[in-house]
Amino acid sequence: MREIDFWKDQLVRGRIGRREFFGRAAALGVSTALATTMLAQVGIGAEPKPGGRFRVGSGHGSTTDLLDPGTWENEYTADIGRGLIGDALVIIDQKNSVVPNLAESLEPSDDAKSWVYKLRKGVTFHNGKTLTADDVVATYNYHRGENSKSAAKSALSTITDIKADGPETVVFTLSGGSADFPYITSDYHLPIFPSQDGAINWADGIGTGPFILESFEPGVRGKFKRNPNYHGTAYFDEVELLVIGDVSARTNAFIAGDIDYMDRCDLKTIALLQRNPDVEVTNVTGFGHYVAPMNVTIPPFDNVDVRKAIKYSFDREEIVKKVLFGYGTAGNDNPIAPSIKFATQPEPVYKYDPDKVKFHLGKAGLSSLKVDFSAADAAFAGAVDAAILMQSHAAKVGIDINVIREPNDGYWDNVWMKKPWTMSYWGGRPTVDWMMSTAYAAEAAWNDTFWKHPRFNELLVAARAETDEGKRAAMYAEMQQILHDDGGIIVLMFNNFVSAHSKKVAHGELNSNYDHDGGHMYKRWWFV
Amino acid sequence: MNAIVSTVLKRLGLGVITLFVVSLIISLAIELLPGDFCKTQLGQAATPETVAACQRDIGLDRGPVERYVEWLGGIVQGDFGYSLAGAGSLGGSRRSVAELIGPRLLNTLFLAAVAACVAVPLALVLGLLAALYRNSLFDRIVNLVTLTSISAPEFFVAYILMLFLAVKFKVFYALANVSDDTPFLESLARIALPTLTLVLVIVAHMMRMTRAAIINLLSSPYIEMARLKGIAPRRIIVHHALPNAWAPIANVIALNLAYLVVGVVVVEVVFTYPGIGKLMVDAVAFRNMPVVNGCALIFAGTYILMNLIADIVAIVTNPRLLHPR
């Protein structure tokens, strides 16, 4: 790209400040007036203004989608609940901190075992009903209930009691102290719905969110218009959320101008897309990562030296280059993304090292190794290619990997957590505690390496309730080191969210926890 | 007349049995697939408790035979049942299969009708002309073009058309997302590219069969008689050969019309057209049994109906069959 575009890009990503941008622009002969216009084009210093119909082409969404919040498991429905019709108690901002949303303030007790949320006053649902604490209690109980089939049930298992303390206060009581509890209340399953006698009504799509549902055809499109009584700000007049599953169709619709935003760009052709002067590609590093879990209860993976030998036997940077086309960062077998609080980089960093492979194989008493590796693109796009790359690297150091290409259909039933070494992915979680509890705690339902380490689990529980930041940091650092050294998980790489939007749309700094600006692009972005 | 009535009745009777067998096979196939609706819908968030609760809720914890019999019982009374998505006690959004399939089926029929209106006359005319000017340059060119278009995979044809007619030169829309409130003319404009794709894909078959059927008849004695009488070639073909060629032509047209309803999933995906093909594919991926069975019945019914019409046309145009001695 041209040099001025490169500096604009750096500015948008926050890598340089405005002064530096102006300086560079002047050096390139761009006048200040023009440079200011350029800033406005990328939404910096420009005043957001209302208006316009924002058409989004989403690669997610299916005909079985429902307005029932317990069933939401793709980004389409997550957007509806979190970004359009609904509001959760808190939201996660660009720095991955919790900020108040429907809750005005949140206070923990001294042992972090109970949390008091005070609700914002004067918030109304789209049908005019005022938000009260009873609505919050009813919403959470819907997901926690005995017979609940909600996807959020396990995340809420730490709550032992919820009650309303007056119309504007909700008290959560937890089974154990948790300093990170507020992050859970930002989950996309948990927008608050209007209730009556303890039961919530979600079927009409009525929430407190910035947009009102006009029509919804699952798997096809949703139409929304701005809520004039929203407690915050939103700029678009209307939003149309289309499902375009096929990436070529989505790209074509975007280039032809039928949609203003597309997600999940095709990485193989992204360079061509970027050449278009009306297109802005956003490349955000989130918490999502691709993994290859080894079942540590099945030989040969039960031997830590075998695991280490495998970890040193392939080149992670090359996988990022070939599979993600550079749109990602190589992993170091630590599932905590660098932007998460308390993230560390355990040493030594795993890279392709034939000497270490030989050393660890020797310690395990083996001169060579033969293992099966199950992969399918259902795990992540390019999983099979990545497996084959690993096979070719490992072959040079005496490890014979037999890549088994599994069918996509039924992958999560028959392959993940069933075969000894598979591919998988994680959307990532915003806190160390949540990520570790979901996948690495001894009894976690999704502990796909079946790894149980006593010291790790001891630290996990202790750190959850620890309110001293320094002590917590040390505990989490130790946990990440243990997982890195002893665990069965290979974190191949952190994948970026690569999406594109027309230059007619502008935005500020982007969230990194989910795509679509954390799901909040509908209320944060505007037409230039 | 008797021949027609008896054919229709026999066919309808056999058709019902065919539908029953089709539904049995499809239900069996879905049962054999790994996973079920609850596990697929909850995806990575599935835990044993939530899956069990979901199954209890929508009745998936009963055996396959019991569920099939219940579904069959509903069908014979005309009730297609409810989609598994949204079924169950929290039935705020129960959607009947009929209301799910209805609009999508209408969309598909609309696209099929428009494509058929363009493709069938075109194929017949081209076939007649090719038979008239057989072995000439025109004949060879028409054959070459149509065979090429039918040999290329549909998505390839679709993308090429989209590239040239929607992206590079913005003649048509790239997205064919029609909805209930799209005005009729705009709907027609939006489905222009899918229609064009489908026409290119089905014209070859019908055109070549027309040409072959007519040329086949041109060696009959009565045609030779007509030629000796000095009748113009155009009239020979249209008035003397064509009426006897309807049987095989009708068969091919019926087959292609059925394909237009049943087999256009690829075009639907590429142009994001909300038709019934994509609905069935999604339903299979989610193991949404009632929807899959509903779609399967409609598809099988379409084939049976189209074949029936083709056979009736064959009987009607053949006096020997129409008035058997």
Query: Per-residue pLDDT tens for A401-449?
Result: 999 999 887 788 788 889 999 999 888 888 898 899 888 988 887 889 9
Q: Write down the pLDDT at residue A38.
A: 60
The interface predicted TM-score of the complex, written ipTM, equals 0.78
Closest A-chain CA to B158: A249
A68 contacts in chain B (CB < 8 Å): 86, 90, 92-93
Please determine, for residue A63, whether its predicted confidence score (pLDDT) is greater than 90. Answer: no
Report, as an integer, the average pLDDT of B28-42. 82
Restricting to B residues 86-125, those with a Cβ less than 8 Å away from any Cβ of A are 86, 90, 92-93, 100
Beta strands per DSSP E along B174-316: none
Q: What is the mean pLDDT of chain A?
A: 88
DSSP string of A350-407? Answer: P---HHHHHHHHHHTT-S-EEEEEEE-TTTSTTHHHHHHHHHHHHHTTTEEEEEEE--
Report, as an integer, the average pLDDT of B1-30. 88
In angstroms, what CA-CA distances link A54 with A209, A233, A242, A251, A257?
16, 16, 11, 16, 12
Q: Write down the pLDDT at residue B288.
A: 87
The span from the CA of A25 to the CA of A30, in Å, is 5
Tell me the nearest-neighbour CA distance from B115 into chain A, angstroms.
21
- Give residue B112's pLDDT band: very low, low, confident or very high (50, 70, 90): very high
Q: Write down the pLDDT at residue B44.
A: 66
Please determine, for residue A36, whether its predicted confidence score (pLDDT) is greater than 70. Answer: no
Q: What is the mean pLDDT of chain B?
A: 87
Cα angle vertex A79, ends A77, A81, to 5°? 70
CA-based end-to-end distance of chain A: 23
The SS3 assignment for B210 reads helix
Q: Do B175 and A258 touch (CB under 8 A)?
A: yes
The span from the CA of A179 to the CA of B116, in Å, is 65
| Pairing label, strands A279-293, A328-330 | unpaired
Please determine, for residue A477, whether its predicted confidence score (pLDDT) is greater than 60. Answer: yes
Alpha-helix runs per DSSP H in A13-132? 18-27, 32-41, 75-78
- Give residue A17's pLDDT band: very low, low, confident or very high (50, 70, 90): low
Q: Write down the pLDDT at residue A12.
A: 57
**How many percent of chain A have pLDDT more than 90?**
51
Report, as an integer, the average pLDDT of B78-104. 77
Phi, psi at residue A246, to the nearest 5°?
-80, 125
In the structure encoding, which two tokens stand for residue A301, read together? 């993976």
Report, as an integer, the average pLDDT of B261-269. 88
Encode A393-410: b = buried (16+ Cβ within 10 Å), e = exposed: bbeebbbebebbebeebb
In the structure encoding, which two tokens stand for residue B7, read together? 């054919």
Closest B-chain CA to A149: B50
Report, as an integer, the average pLDDT of A349-368. 91
Closest A-chain CA to B170: A256
Residue A153: which of B50, B93, B163 has the nearest Cβ?
B50
- Cβ neighbours for A6, distance < 8 A, ≥ 6 positions apart: none
Closest B-chain CA to A243: B272
B131-173 pLDDT, tens digit per residue, is: 988 899 999 999 999 999 889 998 899 999 998 998 888 888 8
pTM above 0.95, yes or no: no
A280-339 pLDDT, tens digit per residue, is: 999 988 888 999 999 999 988 999 999 999 999 999 999 999 999 989 999 999 999 988
A242 contacts in chain B (CB < 8 Å): 175, 177, 272
Categorise residue A457: left if φ over 0, alpha if ψ from -120 to 50, beta otherwise: alpha
DSSP string of A2-32? Answer: -HHHHHHHHHHTTSS-HHHHHHHHHHTT--H
A152-175 pLDDT, tens digit per residue, is: 887 888 899 999 998 899 999 998
Burial class (CB in 10 A: 0-12, 13-18, 19+), B96: middle
Please determine, for residue A46, whether its predicted confidence score (pLDDT) is greater than 70. Answer: no
Residue A317 vs residue A27, higher pLDDT: A317
Restricting to B residues 207-266, those with a Cβ less than 8 Å away from any Cβ of A are none
The span from the CA of A323 to the CA of A330, in Å, is 11
Please determine, for residue B200, whether its predicted confidence score (pLDDT) is greater than 70. Answer: yes
- Give residue A11's pLDDT band: very low, low, confident or very high (50, 70, 90): low
